[in-house]
Structure 1
Amino acid sequence: MTAPAETFRRSDGESPNGQNGRDHAVQRLDGRLRDLLAGKKILMTGVTGFIGEQLLWKMLTELPDTTPAVLVRPKRSQSAWDRMVAVVKKDIFKQVREAAGGPEELLRARIDVIEGDLPNVPKLPRDIDIVVHCAGDVSFDPPIDQAFTTNVIGTKALMDRMIEACSDEHGNLEKIPHYVHISTAYTAGRRRGAIPEAQHVHTIDYDAETAAGLAMRDLLDTESRTSEHLTKLRKEAEREHRAAGFLTTAADTERRRLEWVQAELVKAGTERARSLGWTDVYTFTKALGERVVADVGRNVEVSVVRPAIVESSWKHPYPGWIEGFKMAEPLILAYGRGELPEFPASPDSVVDIVPCDYVVNAILAVCATKPVIGEPEFYHVNSGARNPLTFRGLYNHVRNYFSAHPFEGGPRGAARLPQWQFPGASSVERLLSTSERAHKIADRALSYAPRSDRTRKIATDLDRFRTRLDFLRRYLGLYNEYAQSELHFVDDNTLALTNALDADDVDAFAFDSAAYDWTTYIEDVHCPSITAPVRRMDAIRRKRGNRPTTMKDLSRDKAGATALAVFDLDGTVMSANVIEQYLWTRLPELPPVQRVAEFGRVLRKVPSYVRADQRDRGTFLRAVYRRYKGADLAAFEEAVDTSLAPHMLNRLSPDAVRRIREHREAGHTTILITGVVRPLTRPLAPLFDTIVAADLEVDDDGRCTGFLTGPPLVGESRPAWLRHYASLHGIDLDASFAYADSHSDLPMLQAVGNAVAVSPDIALMRAANANRWSIVEWKIKSSSPRWILPE
């Protein structure tokens, strides 16, 4: 299996890259890498990424006379220098950082930092010798325009700048740079069988594809703005947010439009890639990037390194080193939590995993080679050729690990690990589709259920189920083809190169994928590494109760009079609604027969009231308050003070009253904002500094007209009032609090820094979860049934 070190030519007459008749060989590595790369300046892109970070570490620790130069884009307020300071502050750089005297000293002494971006590459230093292009969009499903911008346009821009830096003023090359392109083994696309280390043959016009890919954003953005499409999105938003108000609905409509454009760009990339024989737009644009490299690099030295699935390190900087989650991690973790019941993999297909440090070592060895000008060399860095791991083997190793080291479960104990049967992609798709339909039916049925703790629990369970289904849909869609591929990546060039390493370099720079066993790597190295931070986070959540912190301990609050505490009334502070309150005030004054008649009339109107409340809270309140026509306002207020007050106070939540008093003790201004008519708020006056309520209009005789003096303060009018009040009184809304139970109060809750959902309806509960707001249950135990009228 080992090629002769002198020429790396195979005995059967076929060159290592699998192309018969091609008369060249990979050059021998004459000496140690530290000597071969001494005095070289290696420009890197992607240094803030997974491979790039370890590549920089390796150069700093093992190549003392090599100068790394890094192209880094600024990010928000961070300059390229600031971002690199953050990089070298990481643990793996500790030794070289301390030896240099600190992170900034390390940068000044060893690293050239160049601020720039892809494709907006600045002029590069003229003393560069090697360019290693690690940067690229590594998501399998980026928007099509983004994939082309990064993987095709960005690659060409970098190579053009490299050639410019190595040329004289007339454009003639003064020295020949070595361009090392980090691609992916999966640029082979949907091919089957052996994939040679060679340029993939295709006739795709990358300029035309790039132009079309970039144009898709404008095309889809224009389509998203048509009246037909906006009407559809607006109606969807109104169904969910109508009660909250027009601006909330408008904001959600625009969010849906932008998400639609983004989703369609992803779909466009996937479909275009598959129509031309690639699995996704990532591998498609990386393949086109390789063609750009070959065309632009005709007069320079070019090497293309194609890693397979890059995962945690086998040995360096320590076993299991990894930054972030890569391809396999979400699936492994989901399986360990019992949330991946099946996977559409062919059990005997090879999952081609390679440790990160092997990829980094291979890249640096490739940097030390001297390819023939204009004849790119290709290197597959993978394990499938000589140390294959099947999906069934991976499943067994992962199952063994979690059987021995399960995630700590909740009250029911550790999660039950699914038993995969590998039924095939079509069976998994049927199972997923059936589950999605069942969820949709259950969620629709839940929308008609009355508000209760049980309803919220069912909704929470359904939301968890929906999250699980979305996860499965996304990852099964992304990995379905990879899990059933029948590719075999030839790695003759890579094997020859690893065999050519100097004996003294083997320990630090080995990348022979046959040198490790999968039981040790997966069960003892990889799985412990990726689950450790998850276990730590789970422990923290268990300790903290996994609760958001907007329901703060007010004894430590220092905002004082600059903060408000704003409360809704019905369903938040008191268990009642405006129809009940009308009946409390109206029925006791009527004779028994008229009392029954009025109750019947109200009962018949309830369906129309419910429909009005779903459309617009203000319309609903106005409809109910019409029934106060003819009432004597003074008598109404007296009745509230004498007979109704005890009944109302009996409906207050002790938890709410306690919280209001805590706010007052903290020096906060307490405000009640309600759509209830003002007389009904009189018993609550001692609790609040300010009460904002609906005022009934009266005629010259002091009798109610059935109208209000102004619009009721509901929905988006509440945050508008709060912002005006805050501007007049020097209030900091970011330090303020708001409490409400209904989705119609979403705008008010969004206006403050500490929003709390109190026994919320389902829509508000979901918004609270999305915004990480506290959800509290303020129980109200009335001493009398709801149907008992005050006397």
Structure 2
Amino acid sequence: MAERLAGQHVLVTGVTGFVGEALLHLLLAEVPGVRTSVVVRPKGSITGTDRIAKLLEKPIFAEVVEAAGGVEALMAARVGVVEGDLADVPVLPTDLDAVVHCAGDVSFDPPVDEGFTSNVVGTRDLLGRIDEATAASGRDIHYVHISTAYVAGRRRGSIPEAPVEHDVDLDRELEWGLGQRKAVEDRSREAELLTKERKKAEREHSRAGLLTAARATEAARRQWVKDELVRIGTERARSLGWTDCYTFTKAMGERVVERWAATGKRTSIVRPSIIESALERPHVGWIEGFKMAEPLILAYGRGELPEFPAAADTIVDIVPVDHVVSAIVAVLAHPPEPAEVGYFHVSSGDRNPLTFNVLYTSVRRYFEQHPFTHGDRGAVRLPEWRFPGARSVERLLSTSEKAWKVADYAVGHMPRSDRARDLARKLHQQGRRLEFLRRYLDLYMEYATAELRFSDQRTMALYTSLSAEDQQTFAFDTAVVDWPHYFIDVHCPAVTEPVRRLDELRALRKKPAATGLRGVASGERIAAFFDMDGTLLSSNVIETYLWVRLRELDSTGRLAELGRIAAKVPSLVQAERRSRSDFLRGIYREYDGARLADLDAVVDEHLTSHVLSRLSPDAVRRIREHRAAGHETVLITGAIRPLTRPLLPLFDHIEAADLATDERGVCTGYLASSPLVGESRAAWMQSYAAERGIDMKASYAYADSHSDLPLLEAVGHPVAVRPDVPLYRHARRSHWDVADWASPSGSVRSLTPAGSGS
């Protein structure tokens, strides 16, 4: 085959993908007479040429690069770069002999317009560029289209290497698919949907602010658009007999190719089944990224895949990637006659079937020998699959999802506590697991229940026509694969090795939240913003009011005051749920008639030691670390300013609530200005930073409440400290640091820290 292809110029698309990269390696390593060009789009400021240079620095290309005298020499001699994208196919070289089209959307559930754009429009436009190159050079270009065996859709039984029979109107479906983005975007802006999402967002985010709720509403609308485009594509595909939008649009892409081939072009269509790690080349177990089986294998090894919706004897058709690219090279070297499309299945199920039971027992045996571990608790307990059927698995998952929703609602309405936060953490983990199971159940149900056997007679006829040397160099007879050996000794070790390495790094890493403070560079200013109540101090504004008030009352007066405040608590709680500002105003009305100077004196003389005793040692340590790193430390709190006086030595600036006073210095029960809560905190921070030249992306913020979401979002390094449940959930979704600063040991909770007779 090397002789047949010698001197040819072959263009390849999709070389930054799994199959394309393996194909480029095989051509460079075993077909030295071939010159390749690759279509690669720039990525940000990185050019297509730089991307290929980086690709060729990977270990699998080391021998080829060394033999050529370096990456630059290899590219100059054998790897040309055509910068462009299938969304706007560039002009192709005019001296091409063949084109191998590996690129395309390989997601099973793309938004319908994206599936059509990648798999149909991209193919159509590439063929148009090939026509231009042919017209300019007069060369007979062989086009090799990489499709999927699953274009067969929801058929059953033996699938021949032939066109897929259907009477779908390609042009009408293409027009429809490309038009769905606008239609769905328009529907997403209708009042009914927006009202529903806005009310939901305001219920969740009203304490943080209405703009925060508005951003959440818009995020929900965009997610709805994406989900709806996926749903529409899936339903349209299944209504026409395909498993999902991926196989539907790949089948439509084949129809584009068949139309083009009918005009007298040399065309081959290669249909691999499920492509997994290499059996031998470029090395045993080579794989890039997660494919179809990897998430399921890893989830099973972690004990998180209790069942699978397949029958034990159903065939799962898997093929190693090196067999796929070897078959592509063989097809490339044997072009069909003009106008006769050659179809080739690269599959295993017809001659070397792998059943789900063999897959399961092989993977289980691997993890029994090489288990994942749960810290000190030892090996993960592996689920025992009984293959109860798809309906039973669906029923079990639906029941679990309903139970999770009830528990999640209950935890979301629990009072703040360590127990509530621990339950939220466990529910978060369980929710992610259920999301994973739901996603993969919905995606793979069709494949797990498919009764397909892809005939590969034509592919094997091509293989047997090769010389013995070529059969060894370009092996693609899948009958030789020993499936238990493949999974136990090849595939599972390759899939789990990077995960195990990551687990080891996580175990070694000491993680106090937001570690790794860096010093300030010349001319740079970084700040650390801290909330007070609940973050630095285990207190709240009601409690701090009582600290001040109760010390001046006798025992009878204290009981009366406690009773009065207790009676107001329900209304105050309701006010806080509606508006943090209204809640604070209600509390600060209680200071009406107090002399501000007396409040300062009470704090200085009686409360300073008590306030400092309530400071978390972890918080103090963190503040000092920031100061040592040269960062400005800022306290921003809704507490009244007198109560922040004990903290003055720790901060460069304190922004607190100022009580309004009359001309005698007596408090009026009102604030001097609106309290800084929710979005107003973030606005103040931005203004403060702008005045002082502080880099907010490099700055830090620490807070404990969902109402402080805007404060945390305003900086590049947010840290949720002993967060309430809503903030905890947001922090986990956003991958923020979560700190658990312990309360000071031995601190006693007292409402009369300085009062006599307490």
The one of 417, 422, 430 equivalent to 1:465 is 430
Alignment of 1:532-547 (within 5 A): 532-545=497-510, 547=511
* Amino acid across the alignment from 2:321: C
- How far 1:314 sits from its partner (Å)? 1.0
SS of the equivalent of 2:639 reads strand
Quote the residue 1:297 is aligned against. Answer: 261
The one of 507, 510, 514 equivalent to 2:479 is 514
In 2, the alpha carbon distance for the partners of 1:544 and 1:783 equals 31
Quote the residue 1:59 is aligned against. Answer: 27
Q: Does 1:579 align with 2:547?
A: no
Alignment of 1:704-783 (within 5 A): 704-781=667-744, 783=747
The one of 621, 642, 652 equivalent to 2:605 is 642
* Amino acid across the alignment from 2:559: V
Quote the residue 1:589 is aligned against. Answer: 552
Q: Which consecutive unaligned segments of at least 5 residues does structure 2 have?
A: none
- How far 1:200 sits from its partner (Å)? 1.0
CA contact (8 A) 2:731 2:738 kept: yes
CA contact (8 A) 1:301 1:374 kept: yes
CA contact (8 A) 2:520 2:631 kept: no
* Amino acid across the alignment from 1:407: F
The one of 604, 609, 612 equivalent to 2:572 is 609
Quote the residue 1:36 is aligned against. Answer: 4
- How far 1:559 sits from its partner (Å)? 7.6
C-alpha spacing 1:386/1:620, structure 2 compared with 1 (3 Å): same
C-alpha spacing 1:698/1:787, structure 2 compared with 1 (3 Å): closer
- How far 1:663 sits from its partner (Å)? 2.8
Quote the residue 1:87 is aligned against. Answer: 55
- How far 1:49 sits from its partner (Å)? 0.6
Q: Does 1:431 align with 2:399?
A: no
CA contact (8 A) 1:560 1:666 kept: no
Q: Does 1:119 align with 2:84?
A: no
CA deviations on 1:634-662 (whole Å, 9 max, x unpaired) are: 22222222223233222222222233233
Q: Does 1:678 align with 2:646?
A: no
* Amino acid across the alignment from 2:49: W
SS of the equivalent of 1:646 reads helix
The one of 168, 172, 175 equivalent to 1:211 is 175
Q: Does 1:201 align with 2:160?
A: no
CA contact (8 A) 2:151 2:247 kept: yes
Identity %: 57
The one of 440, 443, 450 equivalent to 2:408 is 443
In 2, the alpha carbon distance for the partners of 1:423 and 1:405 equals 27
Quote the residue 2:457 is aligned against. Answer: 492
SS of the equivalent of 1:562 reads coil
Further displaced range: 94-103 or 490-499? 94-103
The one of 224, 227, 241 equivalent to 1:260 is 224
In 2, the alpha carbon distance for the partners of 1:549 and 1:682 equals 27
SS of the equivalent of 1:303 reads strand
Quote the residue 1:406 is aligned against. Answer: 371
- How far 1:549 sits from its partner (Å)? 5.9
- How far 1:740 sits from its partner (Å)? 1.4
Q: Does 1:250 align with 2:218?
A: no
Alignment of 1:339-354 (within 5 A): 339-354=304-319
In 1, the alpha carbon distance for the partners of 2:515 and 2:582 equals 32
In 1, the alpha carbon distance for the partners of 2:387 and 2:747 equals 59
CA contact (8 A) 2:301 2:382 kept: yes
Quote the residue 1:322 is aligned against. Answer: 287
CA contact (8 A) 1:37 1:63 kept: yes
CA contact (8 A) 1:55 1:360 kept: yes
Further displaced range: 730-739 or 352-361? 730-739
CA contact (8 A) 1:551 1:756 kept: no
Quote the residue 1:109 is aligned against. Answer: 77
- How far 1:579 sits from its partner (Å)? 0.7
- How far 1:561 sits from its partner (Å)? 7.7
CA contact (8 A) 1:563 1:731 kept: yes
- How far 1:302 sits from its partner (Å)? 0.9
Q: Does 1:49 align with 2:12?
A: no
In 2, the alpha carbon distance for the partners of 1:364 and 1:688 equals 68
Normalised TM-score (structure 2): 0.96
Quote the residue 2:332 is aligned against. Answer: 367
In 2, the alpha carbon distance for the partners of 1:121 and 1:657 equals 59
* Amino acid across the alignment from 1:38: A
In 1, the alpha carbon distance for the partners of 2:512 and 2:87 equals 41
SS of the equivalent of 1:128 reads coil
In 2, the alpha carbon distance for the partners of 1:192 and 1:105 equals 51
- How far 1:571 sits from its partner (Å)? 0.9
Quote the residue 1:655 is aligned against. Answer: 618
- How far 1:243 sits from its partner (Å)? 1.8
The one of 135, 139, 162 equivalent to 1:167 is 135
Quote the residue 1:377 is aligned against. Answer: 342
The one of 77, 101, 123 equivalent to 1:155 is 123
In 2, the alpha carbon distance for the partners of 1:402 and 1:668 equals 48
SS of the equivalent of 2:16 reads coil
SS of the equivalent of 2:664 reads coil
SS of the equivalent of 2:6 reads coil
In 1, the alpha carbon distance for the partners of 2:621 and 2:52 equals 50
- How far 1:408 sits from its partner (Å)? 2.8
CA deviations on 1:590-647 (whole Å, 9 max, x unpaired) are: 4554443332222122122112212221121111111212222222222222223233
SS of the equivalent of 1:212 reads helix
CA deviations on 1:693-723 (whole Å, 9 max, x unpaired) are: 1111112232211111111111122222222
CA contact (8 A) 2:527 2:634 kept: yes
Normalised TM-score (structure 1): 0.93
CA deviations on 1:510-537 (whole Å, 9 max, x unpaired) are: 1111122112211111111111111111
* Amino acid across the alignment from 1:95: E
CA contact (8 A) 2:513 2:738 kept: no
CA deviations on 1:198-227 (whole Å, 9 max, x unpaired) are: 001111111110111111111111111112
C-alpha spacing 1:352/1:564, structure 2 compared with 1 (3 Å): same
Q: Does 1:693 align with 2:692?
A: no
CA contact (8 A) 2:358 2:484 kept: no
Q: Which consecutive unaligned segments of at least 5 residues does structure 1 have?
A: 1-32
In 2, the alpha carbon distance for the partners of 1:551 and 1:719 equals 23
* Amino acid across the alignment from 1:438: A
* Amino acid across the alignment from 1:577: N
C-alpha spacing 1:783/1:347, structure 2 compared with 1 (3 Å): closer
* Amino acid across the alignment from 2:734: N
CA contact (8 A) 2:524 2:695 kept: no
* Amino acid across the alignment from 1:659: R
In 2, the alpha carbon distance for the partners of 1:148 and 1:742 equals 44
Further displaced range: 100-109 or 280-289? 100-109
Quote the residue 1:524 is aligned against. Answer: 489
Quote the residue 2:156 is aligned against. Answer: 192
- How far 1:265 sits from its partner (Å)? 0.5
C-alpha spacing 1:231/1:345, structure 2 compared with 1 (3 Å): same
Quote the residue 1:237 is aligned against. Answer: 201
SS of the equivalent of 1:71 reads strand
- How far 1:558 sits from its partner (Å)? 5.7
In 1, the alpha carbon distance for the partners of 2:748 and 2:455 equals 80
CA contact (8 A) 1:557 1:666 kept: yes
The one of 86, 98, 101 equivalent to 1:133 is 101
* Amino acid across the alignment from 2:648: A
